[in-house]
Structure 1
Amino acid sequence: MSGNSQSTPRVAAIVGPYLSGKTSLMESLLFVAGALPRKGSVKEGNTVGDASMEAKARQMSVEASLAACTYQDQAWTLIDCPGSVEFSQEAAHALMVADIAVVVVDPDPNRALMVAPTLKFLDDHKVPHVVFVNKMEAPGSASRLKDVLGALQGVSERPLVLVEIPIREGDQITGYVDLISEHAYKYDAARDADLVTLPESVLPEEHEARQQMLEKLADFDDHLMEELLGDVVPPLEEISEDMAKDVHEDLLVPVLFGSADRDAGIRRLFQTLCEEAPFAGETAARLGIPEGNGTLVQVFKTVHAQHVGKLSISRVWRGEVADGTSLAGNRVSGINRLFGSQQIKLQKATAGEVVALGRMDEVKTSEGLTASAKVQLTWPEPLQPMLALSLHTTKSGDDVKLSLALQKLCEEDASLQVEQNAETQERVLWGQGEVHLKCALDKLKSRFGLDVQSHPPLVPYRETFTKATKIHGRHKHQTGGHGQFGDVWFEIKPLPRGTGFQFEERIVGGVVPKNFFGAIEHGVVDWMKRGPLGFPVVDIHVALVDGSYHTVDSSDMAFKTAARIAMTEGAPLCHPVLLEPITEVQISVPSEFTSKAQRLVTGRRGGQVLGFDAKPGWNGWDVVSAYIPQAEMGDVIVELRSLTMGVGSFTWSFHHLQELVGRDADKVVEARKAAKTTA
């Protein structure tokens, strides 16, 4: 496949848990590459990565940020991915086009669990990756390095291997020993590290760590295994080639360490990326992207930028794309290389590059584009949303503007969904959590000028009957001309839960002509939209058993009105009860949090644990199955994440309707009446 040459630009995605220092690491990588004259800081809000207003306000990444640079004559695009699990869709999309990932963690073994979902995604998609233990300037970090490595290995399917060990003075790390070359380096602010004599004090640790590294490499190389068994010292070139091959094939994961804030270990990390990251052609082959000679571009992120319009951020897998050419019927209007919020205009982009293509209005995220057609490529499914807000504009006349703005936000972020609820007349925005939704509201205001109010969406309660009755409904209205006359007798009875609505006629002797049956049924159905408690009525059977008509004054409208009268008068005699929707929830948590997840369920009104089992394909994780009333689901994800270091999640679906009685039911009915009165 084309695009495999050494000159092909490569892509590294920087991922990891919230607060691990990803944005600072990208800033340091850009600085040592000479792409920045001086570094910014997250606290000051002047980093390349967190350029948006929403990111600056929260001092955290809320979307993937890109920056191109060159290191040792090799072209790179770095993608700083959000660490919060609420924005993990962004990270997933970036990883789908990355040649390699840098997984950033901090030197606390107790936080290793937070990286588990990221490592699982990388392992499932066979994305080559390295681990960078950041913030090693913290006192005591060196002594905890082995504990961190052990904790990380517990959540990684791939073997982790240290490729360097620290040199320390007291509590501080002052340098490192490269286990491949066996050279020692002292950190130097200007050059990252100076070559120094390997201290005798670290020799025992260095020999042990190097042997462990070689043994892990030998698991995938029979020749190296023979050398080790024969006490033959393998040449440096063989070790380097083995490491690069194993990383390319995602067989093992090198572990490095340093400090992004102090630029310590950053050049060693960049050197590792240059030596061990696959090139675009190899990545395309891993992803199953079809081979060919023509241009193939894949859109992995969509942005609707102010004053610019729609930008389709894409990776060129093969061939080249020039400004003004057509891709799948869309004319490219502008090609830009990205550096944070800056755009650098290009005339063309070649294989391996990441660029923003302008005005590709008919193109969606994930699509592959050739000169003549769209190509469907492998892509992760959108995450199921777990929290919702009902939105309405503060200014009259902004509804259409809001609809268009939400459509653009959902196009940018597949983990947002908009639902227009016909029953409650609500526009509901679904997302991954509290911060995710608040960030979307901020964008509506800052980018689209929309002031939007929000509140939890209404719960779709229903009502049904518990007793049967027979009722008479008559509508008679006389005017100067034709009058109105409709007369019906109904037998009404409840049906088993989930049956729905049934209507039948048992008229004898034509007391009501057949041509009015449809209008009568329509009258019942129309009445059922809002029963005596204020909610749609379900699971009832209505039989038309008798009635009368007038040859001149009877009409469809008269019989429809008579049917509504009968239902209105008969409903109280049928003892209506409220029904609330019950959701079936599958909560995914590490096994150590299973009991907390169960208590979360039972701590909610009506919550019922059905059981738990091991999560398929996830070592050390469980799935707790439960029933939870939809009214109690509002903040489940907020509580779950606080109980599980942010890694717990759930999927849910409607399961059944269940009677709600007593004071809880009275509160619901009173609230609905108050809402209707206000409306």
Structure 2
Amino acid sequence: MPSTRSAGPRCAALVGPYLSGKTTLMESLLFAAGAVSRKGSVKDGNTVGDSAPEARARKMSVEVGLATAEYLGERWTFLDCPGSVELGAEAQTSLMVADVAVVVCEPVPDKAPMLAPLFKFLDDNGIPHILFINKVDSLGTQEIRVRDLMQALQAVSSRPLVLREVPTRDGDTITGYVDLVSERAYHYNPHAPSNLVEVPATVREREQTARQELLEALSDFDDSLLEQLLEDVAPDKEEIYRQLAKDLASDLIVPVFIGSAENDNGVRRLLKALRHEAPEAEAAAARLEIPLNGNIVVQVFKTYHAPHAGKLSFARVWKGTVSDGQTLGGDRVSGIYRMQGHDQHKLSSASTGEVVALGRMEHVATGEVLDDQGGKVKAPLWPDPPAPVYALAVSAEQRSDEVKLTGAIAKLAEEDPAFSVTNNADTGEIVLWGQGDIHLQLAMDRLRSKYNLPVRSRMPAVAYRETIRKPTAQHARFKRQTGGHGQFADVQVEIKPLPRGSGFAYDEKVVGGVVPRQFIPAVETGVKEYLVQGPLGFPVVDVAVTLISGQFHAVDSSEQAFKTAGRMAMSEGMPKCEPVLLEPILQVTIAAPTEFTPKVQRLITGRRGQILGFDGRPGWEGWDEVKALMPEAEVHDLIVELRSLTLGLGFFTTSFDHLAELTGRLADRAIEIRQSSVAAQ
């Protein structure tokens, strides 16, 4: 190993697909570093990382989990990131502030494509990363060769994967590894440090081949090392370690380690590699182009509303030492905490490189960079929230909680920017948007448990419209006699269909003053009031109405009377115009790896979609984009089926395109649902 060095506090993010074992790995890292005396397990629901009740109920990470440990005198903060594709935004923001990422994967070649979006995000943002192949104790039983696994993984990484260890075996069992730099062999001891052994003769040839491949990969980025290889000179091991650290920091290579977090095998080796080769906080700040103005600079990467402690802003200290009570970005720090899962350990200060929670920074948002000069800016390089792909209409069970619901959803969106909310004026629904059913069910659970707010949810109503197919002329008279002045208005209107997308048009061709000028706008008002809900029960579009004649009474006519007459004319005339339902058609762009394109096309046609074409996805090698027109009613759960067909990799964006006529059974069903909804109000 290289000579020891003194480094400031550093941060490593653990990322990878669902079920790869990230939370178990963090538990093992904490155990190896002595931060916990006894390992928890995901099954038992007592790990440090998955401390949220929603995580323990689902036995999966649902938010980033923070934990700090000291290893050989150096402080590390580990960020256990969710693996579900629906919670990817949470992982991305955590990755941005990490010095290094540890990508955790299973030793299954068929699952390698699941890493492609993660590798691309890391490389696009220049984030140094190490690959940890977990669960290697299952390699032998699956008869999978490391070389085949490496080929599958390399196919989804734009950076060269550099194997750092080769496994040693006893039959089908992985018993240890040989380090390819030090050329030392180690034997695994479950839940204890590995011990040094002789390099087995059976693995020596394989070790030499793999070591040569490692050196050749490094020589691509160092002329001196290349010359030594060409001259058949054995490079100094210290030089190899230095080159590994340099290339990792520059995101030129991806070192690959193996192990089993469940049995604590290979975890201490991973810790030592992180200690000696991971860059420090200054490199991450430079990568993010953080403006280091002032004496103290911090960046918030996660907001969390604790049930009793209030708002907590998880932040990385990029420069200086922040103290409790200090003012940053115009907000006073009310408490500094080191997080161990959901447990808070109060600190008086935090220095460069540390990851802490700052209390009650009420006016600070996720992603903002704060300094002690009052500066508060959005980070220059910060990922945008993903486009929403799934929605639920939500309402409070108690009508008196509606205002409380709005505030609680706002806090959810502050904690997780992948949530968004819209108030649909057409349907009257509060619509919560997210990344999938799991994502939104988490929101429902948090509303109930954290905010004591029972809520109902349902599929959002489709914003259907209706129009007419033929014109008509309609006469309507409103006459009412009560004590004193009565009410009188008489109108004759023409109702005509307009081309699709025209909206609504109103005109008048009254001659001879049969309808006084001051009453003409009132007729238009009555017409518009009716068009909010046409004969089929939906808003009416693409209709022209012309007032052509009428009568008035010098005493009994009024604006209110002519407004009522206009509404009556529409109510009586519209059913004669062959009303027809219109459904919104969206333009949908679906992205997925090329091998899934045929499945995507069948998915589109099976949902009444019309394929417009497909092409390679810009910037994504081996991916296609399929463009199609699809009814909005077919898009609601599209993401669920799409992910099931594409190993969870497919996603899409939508935009409104046009309205199209809908007839037959589907139209009858939509009208029936609408009429039932109106009757229930």
1:142/1:326 CA distance change after superposition, 3 Å: farther
CA distance in 2, matches of 1:455, 1:356: 36
Contact 1:471 1:490 in 2 (8 A): yes
* CA shift for structure 1 position 142: 7.6
- What is the percent sequence identity of the aligned residues? 57
Find 2:485's aligned residue among 479, 482, 485: 482
The answer to whether 1:446 aligns with 2:449 is yes
* CA shift for structure 1 position 6: 4.2
The answer to whether 1:671 aligns with 2:653 is no
Contact 1:142 1:172 in 2 (8 A): no
Amino acid at match of 1:193: S
The match for 2:620 is: 618
Find 2:399's aligned residue among 392, 396, 399: 396
Q: Which secondary structure does the structure 1 equivalent of 2:400 belong to? A: coil
Find 1:526's aligned residue among 505, 526, 529: 529
CA distance in 1, matches of 2:232, 2:527: 89
Structure-1-length-normalised TM-score: 0.97
Find 1:649's aligned residue among 648, 651, 663: 651
Deviations 1:340-370 (A, max 9, x none): 1211100111111111111111111111111
The match for 1:64 is: 64
The match for 2:172 is: 171
* CA shift for structure 1 position 298: 0.9
Q: Which secondary structure does the structure 1 equivalent of 2:262 belong to? A: coil
CA distance in 1, matches of 2:556, 2:363: 57
Deviations 1:619-651 (A, max 9, x none): 111111111111111211111111111111111
Contact 1:107 1:144 in 2 (8 A): no
Q: Which secondary structure does the structure 2 equivalent of 1:515 belong to? A: helix
The match for 2:461 is: 458
Contact 1:393 1:451 in 2 (8 A): yes
Alignment of 1:89-238 (within 5 A): 89-140=89-140, 143-189=144-190, 191-238=192-239
Deviations 1:162-220 (A, max 9, x none): 01111111111111111111111112346522222222221211111111111111111
The match for 1:283 is: 284
Structure 1 segments, 4+ long, off by >6 Å, are: none
1:541/1:190 CA distance change after superposition, 3 Å: closer
Answer with 351-360 or 414-423: which moved more.
414-423
The match for 2:517 is: 514
The answer to whether 1:636 aligns with 2:647 is no
* CA shift for structure 1 position 392: 1.9
The match for 2:273 is: 272
CA distance in 2, matches of 1:293, 1:630: 51
* CA shift for structure 1 position 561: 0.8
CA distance in 2, matches of 1:7, 1:269: 17
Amino acid at match of 2:60: M
Contact 1:10 1:279 in 2 (8 A): yes
CA distance in 2, matches of 1:191, 1:393: 52
Amino acid at match of 2:216: E
CA distance in 1, matches of 2:239, 2:85: 39
The answer to whether 1:303 aligns with 2:310 is no
* CA shift for structure 1 position 139: 4.6
* CA shift for structure 1 position 666: 1.2
The match for 1:373 is: 375
CA distance in 2, matches of 1:354, 1:665: 56
CA distance in 2, matches of 1:486, 1:396: 40
The match for 1:563 is: 566
Q: Which secondary structure does the structure 1 equivalent of 2:302 belong to? A: strand
The answer to whether 1:81 aligns with 2:81 is yes
The match for 1:41 is: 41
Answer with 222-231 or 507-516: which moved more.
507-516
Amino acid at match of 1:72: L
Deviations 1:506-546 (A, max 9, x none): 22232222222222211111111000000000011111222
The match for 1:409 is: 412
1:39/1:196 CA distance change after superposition, 3 Å: same
CA distance in 1, matches of 2:486, 2:619: 72
CA distance in 1, matches of 2:389, 2:64: 21
Contact 2:290 2:369 in 1 (8 A): no
Contact 1:20 1:106 in 2 (8 A): yes
1:205/1:174 CA distance change after superposition, 3 Å: same
Amino acid at match of 1:567: M
1:248/1:296 CA distance change after superposition, 3 Å: same
Contact 1:136 1:142 in 2 (8 A): no
Amino acid at match of 1:171: D
Structure-2-length-normalised TM-score: 0.97
Contact 1:302 1:411 in 2 (8 A): yes
* CA shift for structure 1 position 597: 0.9
Amino acid at match of 1:440: A
CA distance in 2, matches of 1:317, 1:549: 77
Q: Which secondary structure does the structure 1 equivalent of 2:216 belong to? A: helix
* CA shift for structure 1 position 603: 1.1
* CA shift for structure 1 position 492: 1.4
Contact 2:11 2:76 in 1 (8 A): yes
Deviations 1:443-496 (A, max 9, x none): 111111122121111111000011111111222222222222222221211111
Contact 1:259 1:266 in 2 (8 A): yes
Amino acid at match of 1:387: Y
* CA shift for structure 1 position 660: 0.3
CA distance in 2, matches of 1:381, 1:139: 38
Q: Which secondary structure does the structure 1 equivalent of 2:168 belong to? A: strand
CA distance in 2, matches of 1:569, 1:331: 65
CA distance in 2, matches of 1:675, 1:597: 34
CA distance in 1, matches of 2:284, 2:261: 27
CA distance in 1, matches of 2:160, 2:105: 16
Structure 2 portions without partners, runs of 5+:
none
Contact 1:314 1:355 in 2 (8 A): yes
The match for 2:342 is: 341
CA distance in 2, matches of 1:157, 1:522: 62
CA distance in 1, matches of 2:170, 2:384: 49
Find 2:385's aligned residue among 352, 361, 382: 382
Q: Which secondary structure does the structure 2 equivalent of 1:273 belong to? A: helix
Find 1:601's aligned residue among 578, 600, 604: 604
Question: How big is the alpha-carbon RMSD for the aligned residues of Structure 1 and Structure 2?
Answer: 1.3
The match for 2:589 is: 586
* CA shift for structure 1 position 336: 0.1
Q: Which secondary structure does the structure 2 equivalent of 1:36 belong to? A: coil
The match for 2:502 is: 499
CA distance in 2, matches of 1:380, 1:197: 48
Answer with 297-306 or 413-422: which moved more.
413-422
Deviations 1:108-131 (A, max 9, x none): 001111111111111111110000
The match for 2:324 is: 323
CA distance in 2, matches of 1:253, 1:303: 32
Answer with 136-145 or 489-498: which moved more.
136-145
CA distance in 1, matches of 2:6, 2:358: 25
Deviations 1:114-167 (A, max 9, x none): 111111111111110000000011152684322221111111111111011111
Structure 1 portions without partners, runs of 5+:
none
Amino acid at match of 2:146: L
State how many pairs are aligned: 674
CA distance in 2, matches of 1:538, 1:452: 34
Contact 1:132 1:255 in 2 (8 A): yes
